Amino acid sequence: MAGPAGGSASDLGPAWSGALLVLLGLHFFPGTPALEVSVGKTGIVTAKNGTDVLLPCTFATCIGFENAIFKWTYNSTDAYNVIYSGTIKNKQSNPKTTFNPDPQIELAASNNVKDYNISIIVRNVQFENEGKYTCYVVNPKEKDAKHNATLQLIVVDKFVVVDNTLTVIIAGSIGGLIGLLILIFILKKIILFAIQKSREKKKDYLVNSSGNDNTEVGSKTPHKA
């Protein structure tokens, strides 16, 4: 391939080759989208029948967003139904509702969108509201990059208080057993140390006694002679 001056690309030096490699890399290995959507760590929300429940959803992006589109869908079987949607112009703007057919569902109040909070509240939740809720976000600034996250809503008649008595008893028993083993180990060390010291004293005593006997015998022999 001829260069601008009629020479080959190799004649243009390392700068041209480096630029060519960068262009090829951008073409064949485009950057991964920076958009992330989160509905919490567990992805499970438990609510009591007849109460209001918050379904959390936040999104984040490294390069910012402009006219971001978000929506919530619900499904109790295999069919997904859009239950809420809206837009956010930029990070200084609050979310704007574009579709809200169910008065039972509303956007969570937020005066600060620095966390890009698009959580919704389900009022007077009922057992039929159980199912999967999916939060979608589209960021046109990232070439319409899309991301979503799903959480499971469980509705119960009442919250069951977990009885931890048995757990406490088992933990206490295990702790007591460990403490007893440690005490036995310490006592064993003390007893062995005492026995060793006693043996050393007895050995020293026998050595001293033997030496004294030899001295007395030696001193009496010349006298008898």
The pLDDT, as a whole number, for residue 110 is: 58
Tens digit of each residue's pLDDT (9 = 90 or more) over 153-212: 999 998 776 666 777 788 888 888 898 889 898 988 899 888 888 888 777 777 676 666
Average pLDDT value for residue range 136-150: 92
Q: How many CB atoms lie within 10 A of CB 150?
A: 14
Give the pTM.
0.57
Strand ranges inside the chain, DSSP E: 36-38, 44-48, 53-55, 58-60, 68-75, 81-88, 96-99, 105-107, 120-122, 131-139, 145-156
Confidence bin at 21 (pLDDT 50/70/90) = very low
CATH of 36-156, one of 3.30.60.50, 2.60.40.10, 2.102.10.10, 3.40.225.10: 2.60.40.10
Residues forming a β-bridge with 87: 69, 96
The pLDDT, as a whole number, for residue 154 is: 95
The pLDDT, as a whole number, for residue 57 is: 93
Q: For residues 101 and 91, is the Cβ–Cβ distance under 8 A?
A: no
Structure tokens of 133?
Answer: 């809720």
Residue in the structure block whose two tokens are 């469980």: 154
Average pLDDT value for residue range 36-53: 93
The pLDDT, as a whole number, for residue 16 is: 47
State the chain's mean pLDDT as an integer. Answer: 78
Structure tokens of 204?
Answer: 């020293």
Tens digit of each residue's pLDDT (9 = 90 or more) over 68-107: 999 999 987 667 899 999 999 988 888 889 999 999 999 9
H-assigned helices in 107-153: none
Average pLDDT value for residue range 1-16: 48
Is a pLDDT exceeding 90 seen at residue 17?
A: no
Is a pLDDT exceeding 50 seen at residue 25?
A: no
